[in-house]
Structure 1
Amino acid sequence: MRFLVYFSLLILIIGCKHSQKKLLAMNTKVVIAHRGASGYLPEHTMEAKAMAYAMKPDYLEQDLVLSKDDVPIVIHDIYLDDVTDVAEKFPNRKRPDGRFYVIDFTFDELQQLNVTERFDPKTGKQFYPNRFPKGKGSFKLHSLQQEIELIQGLNKSTGNSIGIYPEIKDPAFHHTNGKDIAKITLNILTEYGYKTKNDKCIFQCFDAKELERVRKELNSDLFLVQLIEFPEEANHLDYYAKYADGISPWYKQILDKKENDTWQFTPLVENAHKLGLKVHPYTFRADQLDEFSSFEEMLQVFLFEADVDGCFTDFPDKAVEFLATK
């Protein structure tokens, strides 16, 4: 009888440890809402961020570009004419290259623009035809400060602890125009309590020299992620590890080939992990599956077979639901 009791307790303990390990493994995989819930609403709008927040990802992403009066605007690129009606509102404000730049408008002027689903400014054609209809609704641009206050306010009212994941866009372009986007952004983050790796703020940039500057010259103790776009950049992991805590590659840089219905992977993730770098690939889209038969297959391949640490996705609800089943 005593043996049966001990045996039952042993099975229970083993089961609990297995459950704890499974839960721990799941919790180490983070979901980043890419430009908010951008699969459902126009990217980087407050509405897309509020919807994404309700889906309970780990982080919401903020791409940042400075306005003429040095306000960090949450927008994906330095241009305005592929997500707003700037060409209609301010037709004479384009530069010689025919583009309209965020940096040429004050924050008050930017507030006059309507934001829409991303489109090709040359043809007017919507990039993702099955998403929110272009030109519909009433959406506006907003500042980093406004978004932080939304997220922090919701964290307080809901009891959640969802983080922010800001990216400074094209710092070299800003420097050329006499602006230090890194310093301005870091000052704002500090003001709102984002100072260390424990503050649920991950800071990212494609420009390696600028991200290194953020760590070494501007003395930031935030969790830093080096975005990488081109395959050859995967050869610089040793350099990135000197200042960054993680990398964010295009997801196809992780795929090698498929043999007998099984994906083979490049050494990128393994090499990054050996250096202590987290890996958060971009961008997982349920309406752009490419090599995969389903979004669930895509998530399974990367999060568990390739063993990445998280993912950027336009559909954070689907990624959160997928991880909840693991």
Structure 2
Amino acid sequence: MKRLGLLLCFPLSVMAAPNEPAGLVQSLDSIIAARFKPELPGVAALVVKDGRPILRKAYGMANVELGVPVRPEHVFRIGSTTKLFTAAAVMLLVDEGKLALDAPVTRYLPDAPRHWDKVTIEHLLAHTSGIPNLSMDSGYWRTTARLDHTLEELVAPVRGRALEYAPGTRFTYNNTGYNLLAMVIEKVSGRAYFDFLDQRIIKPLGLAHTREGTDKQLIPGLVTGYRSGPAPAWLLASNNLHAAGGLVSTVDDLAAFMLALQAGRLVPPEGVRRMNASVVLPNGEATGYGLGSWVRMVNGKHLVGHGGYIFNFYSQLEMDVDSGIIAVTLHNGDRFGGDNEVLSKQLISEVQAWY
């Protein structure tokens, strides 16, 4: 990991391509090119081994109407891959003694409902809180998600509802839980959520193109999203995504973030280990999710990371922490190239086979 930290001194976007085996580069290129048609919404892809880029390339269109191809440096909405940043922010505050993973959320949000007094910070990170998920409400994506809401307004509708299960006993993916974490971050840090990310993660790592995915300002380099057809992406109010899915980024920034995280440059190694370890329920079942990170085994190797899907962008950031391999894919459509998680597995498996 020490080597990875040193290589981060040089932005991935300007590093010279290493002298990798030509056959490996060609194979990776073929895997991606077979999925994405040049005239349709495309993908920016970056594959890294030990901090060195093996493949950095784009495929398809950033804007179909104007015939603008995707470039590797283009900016994409990353959806739920944002959750990995939120989790890192929480773990920073844990390391500083400002948060405790086993503390109830009511300690930090005194106005939270009393029936949440057994819901801990760790439960929110691990999607095991039992708090209802607002984004699963009928009609949410057709109506609510299209209107501007504050963080409080995104949480308020579930305050009076009963818990769906005893905290810690089940896994249910939950966007509301991550927006609650944003409220906790703001309360204990005294900074707005996106400001905290900017000051503690984004600027220190030099992530020049990672920011709040606002729809109130122009975002230089942002590609256009598409749903099936292709047709224009569904309109959403970006502030509804917030800590659960509100960032935009690039393949270079995401790889640099993952390298820094896994090298212990953001969160101490013990915290990183907790993030990377699948939570085990009382019945002995592993959820396949740690603290802000999906966890899976591929070819006997430990893979961690996060994917995101939000109308109509699809992202995947994943690292084989045993082999030092990272795959990042950012797509501006509704799976025109298939499932990014499957693609990530293919790319990582291909590199594994060469080393």
Task: Check whether TM > 0.5.
Answer: no
Asked which structure has the greater CA Rg, the reply is: 1
TM-score, reference length from structure 1? 0.28
TM-score, reference length from structure 2? 0.26
Structure number with greater CO (CA < 8 Å, separation at least 6) is 2
